[in-house]
Amino acid sequence: MLPRGAFAPVPTPLDERFEFDAEALRSHLAWLSSQGLDGALVLGTNGEFPSLSLTERLRVAETAAGAESGLEMMLGIGSCSLVEVLEMVEAAKSLGFESVLCPPPFYFRAAPIDGLAAFFRALLEHARLPVLLYHIPQVTGIPISDGLLETIGDHHGLAGVKDSSGNPEELERLSRRFSDGVYMVGTDRLVTACLHAGGSGSISAAASVAPALVCAAHGDESEQDRLDAVRGLLEDHGLGPAVKAILHRCGLGAYATRPPLLGLEPERADRLWEAYCELVPPGNRPSRD
């Protein structure tokens, strides 16, 4: 099955000792499903995958798959080590994930395009699952360029791309490039534009804390302004820390942030919560079963 619809890039919940909180992840996934969301990306950027060991990432993946939330599940398999990428895709297959997302090996920003293409071709030959390439050049420093795609070449396993550039021109380029495959936008502000361009759906931060609103924007473009307001609030406080602060305030778990990243200071978290409650009604806020 190819991914389609509204997905949440779920954060990885950590307790006060920075240890993975499996129950919090299960609760979050169950609530997202109850709000009508289509799917979830585990261990993406908002999942802070570079901060976790391979052993931890495998445990997060196993917990998410075992939650049986009813959501379509995508696994982020990013690493600068091809060996780890292949181990993660093996886990995705054995655990029942329906697709995987892989960024470029972000430490090697000066790697030749032939080397980057070889990295992705090795994954595609091994995967036996739909693979989405992760275009987030402002973080990785390595774009999913036309030149890279042409060097990779055609492969039945290359399903499409997740585009988190936030750039409408990149949306146009990549949605056209994958018009027969999967184009998922990674920015809440471009949900309507993505759908107008024939894209498959979104994997966007607001979906973790306001999934009903993201789903509404998928069905009614007049909801885009309301979604923009939530996205703006999260951006003002930092996407990752803001999402975690809201989930913590709603009682799902501690949602601590492992250094080098930091969570919100209590005063900022209070201001965020007040503004969030003005935008999202009580019935659409996160909660445990």
Greatest extent of the chain over all pairs of C-alpha atoms, in Å: 51
What CA–CA distance (Å, rounded) separates 272 from 84?
A: 37
Phi, psi of 160 (to 5 degrees): 165, -145
Q: Give me the numbers of helices (H) and strands (E) for the chain, helices first please.
A: 12, 8
**Phi-psi region for residue 8, left (φ > 0), alpha (ψ -120 to 50) or beta?**
beta
107 catalytic per annotation: yes
Catalytic residue among 12, 45, 63, 192: 45
Catalytic residue among 12, 63, 134, 183: 134
Catalytic residue among 162, 187, 192, 257: 162
Q: Are 242 and 171 in contact (CB under 8 A)?
A: no
Nearest to 186, CA basis, from 198, 196, 199, 177:
199
What CA–CA distance (Å, rounded) separates 52 from 187?
A: 24
183 catalytic per annotation: no
Phi, psi of 53 (to 5 degrees): -70, 165
Active site residues: 45, 107, 134, 162
